[in-house]
Amino acid sequence: MKCVLALVGLLSLSLAQVAEAQVPLAPAAADPDAKIVEELVVTARYPGPVFWKVSDGDSTVYVLGVPSLAPRRQVWDQARFAHYLAGANEVILPFNSISVSLLGAPGAALGYLRLRSSRPFEAGLDPATQARFVAARQAVGQPAEHYKVSHPLAAGLMLINDFREYRQLTANDPAKLIGLLARRDGVKVVQKSYEVGPLLGAIVKTSPGAGRTCLDVAIEEATSGPESILAASRAWAEGDVASALAAERTYEKCLAVTPGAAAFFERVKRDEIAQISTALKSPGHAIALVPLRTLLAEDGVLERLKAAGYAIE
């Protein structure tokens, strides 16, 4: 069951039985965070990553834009963070966790079983795509039998996960470290998680064509290597926001092709803004971590907080 739950949380499995054969490429889904508010893109004046200050009278939230993907144990100057952590009311971690309830687990297991295939995924691909897929899985050290699934969305998400594991990349840092440091110092930590069960109803409608979009970007990432991600992460650690934004968002692009994704991303964004607004009701200061693009995009977290009347620096 542990394997099943991990796959559900990571792959957002489809319950539909679909063909493995060649499928037409679907148009790329609209990325809600594609356009960045340029005046918010700055370079830090001090060592370490950039914080944005959101304030309302005697209340302040220092917002750290964090990368969506970084190498494990990324080194960064923590002096500014330590300064803000001292005396903080709370630390708000990114709202990107997915949980699975006991009631949802049986359905998740059924989805996994129905998605499984008796033969490797690559066996149903056209020769050109098969060659690209084989090169990609070999680049991350996986055999053909590892990908016995029937939907290109699942194959793509599995490939992304294998690439990240092979290259020791994670979506959990620096949030995991910051959470540990906050708890060590007795600071309240806030992090919301989302039930995966309600999401499955929309994900089951993902077409093979949309899944193929995910598969193509996954193949490209696995074969191109981690260099652009590592460079963007170093830039984040050095306070160079423009270069930090250059990292590809492959996992997000995959999820964006699923029906209901836009509504889910919007819900997460509203929840992040609501928590920051709640923190601003208490005198003193707090710290919030928000994915960098979600923070700086047009109609993103900072723009909406500014529209609500908060001062942004």
195-216 as b/e, with b when 16 or more CB fall inside 10 Å?
ebbebbeebbebbbebbbbbbb
Q: For position 66, what pLDDT does the model report?
A: 94
Instruction: Give the C-alpha separation, 80 to 146, whole Å.
Output: 44
Tell the residue number behind the tokens 């992304």, with chain if given.
160
Instruction: Give the C-alpha separation, 121 to 180, whole Å.
Output: 40
Q: Is residue 173 part of a domain?
A: yes
Closest CA to 250 of 271, 295, 219, 292: 219
Q: For position 108, what pLDDT does the model report?
A: 55
Q: Is residue 5 part of a domain?
A: no
Low-confidence ranges of the chain (pLDDT < 50): 1-28, 100, 102-103
Q: Is residue 249 part of a domain?
A: yes
Q: For position 12, what pLDDT does the model report?
A: 36
In the β-sheet with 90-92, what is the strand arrangement from edge to edge? 188-190, 90-92, 284-291, 59-66, 51-56, 311-312
Rg (CA), the chain: 20
Q: For position 309, what pLDDT does the model report?
A: 97
Instruction: Give the C-alpha separation, 283 to 306, whole Å.
Output: 19
Q: For position 4, what pLDDT does the model report?
A: 35
- Per-residue pLDDT of 160-219, as tens digits, reads 889 999 999 988 889 999 999 999 999 999 998 877 655 555 556 678 888 888 899 899
Q: Is residue 104 part of a domain?
A: no
Closest CA to 233 of 176, 166, 174, 298: 174
The DSSP output letter for 160 is: H
Q: Is residue 153 part of a domain?
A: yes
Half-sphere exposure of 130 (CA within 13 A, CB side): 12
Residue type, 200: L
Q: Which pair of structure tokens corresponds to residue 247?
A: 């990292």
Largest distance between two CA atoms of the chain: 64
Q: For position 18, what pLDDT does the model report?
A: 28
Q: For position 198, what pLDDT does the model report?
A: 57
Decide: 286 and 88 in contact? Cβ < 8 Å: yes
Q: For position 201, what pLDDT does the model report?
A: 52
Q: Is residue 9 part of a domain?
A: no
Q: Report pTM.
A: 0.84
Q: Is residue 112 part of a domain?
A: no
Residue type, 240: D
Q: For position 133, what pLDDT does the model report?
A: 97
Alpha helices in the chain (DSSP H): 2-11, 79-85, 105-115, 127-139, 152-166, 175-184, 197-203, 208-224, 227-237, 241-244, 250-256, 261-279, 292-296, 301-307
- Give residues with Cβ within 8 angstroms of 14, minimum separation 6: 111, 115, 151, 153, 154, 203, 204, 206
Q: For position 262, what pLDDT does the model report?
A: 81
Q: Which pair of structure tokens corresponds to residue 100?
A: 């699975």
**Domain limits for position 137:** 17-98+118-312
The number of distinct structural domains making up the chain is: 1
